[in-house]
Structure 1
Amino acid sequence: MARSGTMTYETPGNTALPAVDEPAPPQRAVSRLNKVPEVAVYFWIIKVLCTTVGETAADLLNSDAGLGLTGVSVLMSALLAVVLVVQFRTRAYRPGIYWLAVALISVVGTLISDNLTDNMGVPLETSTIVFALLLAIVFLVWYRRERTLSIHHIDSTGRESFYWLAVLFTFALGTAAGDLVSERMSLGYWLSAVLFAIGIAAVALARFALDLNAVGSFWIAYILTRPLGASIGDYLSQPTADGGLGIGTVVTSVLFLAVILGLVVYLAVTRRDVTEHKPVNRPAA
C-alpha cells in the first residue's frame, strides 16, 4: 500500500520489496491574466476624461434630452449591466470594453448620488457618509476574502466583482463629496477643479516622497479624480452666467468622448497599458 508518497509491492510469498518513491506530478505553467490596465499616465488621463463625460452626459440626458433622472438611471444602468457581462466574460483586459464600462459606471455613479439628493431629498452630508461606509465595507470584505486590495491581480471573478463594486461606490462617493465641497465652500467650477487637483498632487507626493501605501494612495486618488473631472466638465459646459465657459453639454461630451476613443484605440494597438504577468505553477490535471 502507498504511504507518504511511496509504494511497497508484495510478492506472492508475502515478501515485501523495497519501497519505490513515486515521481512528483508534473507541473504546468498557468497564466493568470489581469483584467484591468496598468496604472500609468494613460490610465489617469482616461479616468479623468471618463469622469468628465459622466458628469456632462448625465446632465445632457437628464435636462437637454428630457429623459429625467429616473429615465436616464434606468437606461444607463441597463447599458452598464450589458457591458459588465461582456467585461466579465472576457479572458483578459480589453481596452475598449474596460473603458466603456468605466464611462458608463461614471454616469451611473453620478445618477445614484443625484437621485438621492434631487429626488429623495437626502442631504449631501448623509449621502457622503453612507457611500464612504459602503465603500469601506466593500474594501473590508474584499480584503478578508482575498488578502489584498491590489488591482494588479484582478484575475478571478471574485476579485473582479469586488473591483467593479468598489469603482461604483468611488464614483458615487466622489460625486456626493465633490458636490458637498463645492456647495459649502462656494468656490465655483474652476477653483473646485484646482482644489481637487491639489488634493491628488498631495496624495502623489505622499506616495513617492513619504512612502504612503501604494494601494491606499491609489484608491484615494481614484476617488478624488471623480470631483476633479466633474468640475472640469461643469466649467466647460455650464453657461457663463453660472461660472462656466458656456460650451454646452453636447460639445463637451462629444469632445471628451473623441479624445477617449483616440486614446483607447492607441492603447489597443500598442498594448502599452497591459499588465505584465508571470506564469503560476500548478499541478497538472
Structure 2
Amino acid sequence: MKHLPKINLFYWALIISANTLGETAGDLISQTFSLGYGGGTLALIVLFLVALLISIYSENQKSLLYWTVITLASTAGTTISDYFTRTLFRDNFGYTEQQGYLFGTILLIFALGLTFIIWKTYSKSNTVESGLNKITEFLYWIAILTSSTLGTAFGDLLAHDTPLGFSGGTLLLSALLALVVGLVYLTKISREFLYWTAIILTHPIGATMGDYLTKPEGMNLGNIKASLVLVVVFIIVIAIGQLTKKRQTD
C-alpha cells in the first residue's frame, strides 16, 4: 500500500509549479518544437505511461518519481486539451475555438467523473489518505491526467471565453482555492473531496499562469524562457521543502 507525499503547503506549491511548468512545456513541445498537438500528445502520453508503470511497480513511493509523473501528466494534459479543443473540435468538426474550449471542458468533466465512479466501484477503502494499491494507484494517475487536461481546457475557457482574461482567471481560481483551504480548517467536509477539488482547481491556475507568462497578453516570455524560469522555480520550491523537512527532523 502506497501513500502520497505529505500534503502540506509545499505539496500544493509544487503542484501549482508543476502545473504551470506543464502548461509552458506542453506548448514548447507542440508549438516551439513543431510536433503539433497530435504529435506532442502521442510523445507525452508514451512518456507518461512509462513513468506511471515504473511508479506503480516500484515497491515504495519515491518523491522524485511522484513529481516526475505529476509534471508529465500536466504537460501531457496541456497537449491533449489543445488537441481536443483546437484540432478535433475546430479543425475536424468545424466548431469555433471558443466552442471547442466549452465542449472540451464538458467532455473532460464527464471523463473525470467516470474515473471516480470506477474507482469507488472497485474500492471504497483505498483513498489518498488511507493508501493506494496497484489498481487504485493507476486510477489515481488517470484522474490526475484527466484533471490536468480539464484544467487546461477550463483555464482556456476562462481566459478566452470570458472577460476575465489570463490574470482575472488566475485571481478567480486562486480565490476558489483559498476557499477550499478554509474549508479544510473550518469544516468537517470529506478531506478526500476537498483534495480532489483543490487538485482540479490547481490545474487551471497553472494553465492560466503559464499562459500569462508566455503569451503577448501577459509577460510575453515565450515558451522557452518561461519553461526555464519555471524549472528554476520548481527546483527552488523542492529545495526549500527539503531544508524545512530537515530542520523539523533535527
Structure 1 length-normalised TM: 0.77
Query: What is the aligned partner in structure 1 of residue 182 from structure 2?
Result: 205
What displacement does 1:267 show? Answer: 5.4
Counterpart AA for 1:253: S
Counterpart AA for 1:155: L
Query: Are residue 131 (structure 1) and residue 108 (structure 2) matched?
Result: yes
What displacement does 1:69 show? Answer: 1.1
* CA distance 1:171–1:178, shift in 2 (3 Å): same
Identify, as 1 or 2, the structure richer in helix. Answer: 2
Query: What is the aligned partner in structure 1 of residue 25 from structure 2?
Result: 57
Matched-pair contact (CA < 8 Å) for 1:38–1:152: no
Query: What is the aligned partner in structure 2 of residue 260 from structure 1?
Result: 234
What displacement does 1:145 show? Answer: 1.9
- Partners of 1:221 and 1:244 in 2: CA distance: 25
Counterpart AA for 1:259: V
Query: Are residue 103 (structure 1) and residue 76 (structure 2) matched?
Result: no
* CA distance 1:53–1:164, shift in 2 (3 Å): same
Aligned to 2:221, what secondary structure does the other structure show? coil
Query: What is the aligned partner in structure 1 of residue 94 from structure 2?
Result: none
Structure 1: unaligned runs, 5 residues or longer: 1-31, 273-285
Q: 2:48 aligns with which of 55, 80, 90?
A: 80
Counterpart AA for 1:256: L
- Partners of 2:63 and 2:238 in 1: CA distance: 6
- Partners of 1:257 and 1:149 in 2: CA distance: 33
- Partners of 1:75 and 1:45 in 2: CA distance: 27
What displacement does 1:152 show? Answer: 2.2
What displacement does 1:40 show? Answer: 0.7
- Partners of 2:129 and 2:245 in 1: CA distance: 16
- Partners of 2:184 and 2:240 in 1: CA distance: 29
Q: 2:14 aligns with which of 20, 27, 46?
A: 46
What displacement does 1:33 show? Answer: 4.0
Query: Are residue 117 (structure 1) and residue 85 (structure 2) matched?
Result: yes
Query: Are residue 160 (structure 1) and residue 137 (structure 2) matched?
Result: yes
Deviates most, 98-107 or 118-127: 118-127
Deviates most, 254-263 or 163-172: 254-263
- How many residue pairs get aligned? The number is 237
Q: What is the aligned-residue identity percentage?
A: 27
Counterpart AA for 1:56: T
- Partners of 1:188 and 1:137 in 2: CA distance: 30
Counterpart AA for 2:205: L
What displacement does 1:144 show? Answer: 2.2
- Partners of 1:232 and 1:79 in 2: CA distance: 24
Matched-pair contact (CA < 8 Å) for 1:124–1:180: yes
- Partners of 1:50 and 1:258 in 2: CA distance: 11
Matched-pair contact (CA < 8 Å) for 2:158–2:166: no
Structure 2 length-normalised TM: 0.87
Q: 1:189 aligns with which of 166, 181, 205?
A: 166
Kindly report the root-mean-square deviation, in angstroms, between the aligned alpha carbons of the 2 structures.
Answer: 2.0
